[in-house]
Structure 1
């Protein structure tokens, strides 16, 4: 997994691993695009991405040591304090799920409204890239309802008995 660290707002956000060209890392692009001032200017404190082994991050003692090491590196412009880390996409998906009354049949599931797209329209146009050739990751992939959908698919294949 990865951590996106912002020296301006003091945030530490979790990201899933990505193996591929940096230009295709649209989840990172989505998170980075949220680190702007109301004027639209990017956070001046800098954004850093650090790779962390997930099993280390899930161990509270090792996690605390990782955070202490990050805080100790204030020479890199990270400052001395970070808020608790958060998995932004999971938190956003949980909020959406609660707004839909913890549904078992979501009408917004995988809709265009829930597509995670970085704010790169101008850059894509300038580079001559097709605006239709966009990533297909949805906030729904991080939602508890997504597990219900996956269980239904597996049950439909006869892999196991699933009842709601």
Structure 2
């Protein structure tokens, strides 16, 4: 996609963007969307004052991807968490309007496939043989989610979210 194509997409309303995205999915599948993620990240990082346009477009794309089965709810939550962190770090002037850390961590904790009491944890890799594939996957998903949430801990304001996340952080080293 050319830079003029990105600029055209940025000028469309939500309906026009969605139609454009649906056409892309028919033509090139999810790879087109993932390529677009990378292009938008490049534009955000190189745009200075205009970065907000690309941040808004990338957030729109992230929020739309699960609706079109490009990302699962879990993948969306993790991608959003890392995108918010990267934007705050690389382009702080474009960080206004991003979801708060409380919103991000709440979304991540909601996406956890199991509870902190039911997740599979191990003390030795030999214990993996005793776990079913489903329990291993759930533990791995939980580990990925907790890692993404951990970076937001210093920015959390909701004491309940802090406590819930800290419960997970205690067992995080033992997740699969």
Structure 2 length-normalised TM: 0.23
Structure number with the higher strand fraction is: 1
Structure number with the higher helix fraction is: 2
Structure with bigger RCO (C-alpha 8 Å, 6+ apart): 1
Structure 1 length-normalised TM: 0.24
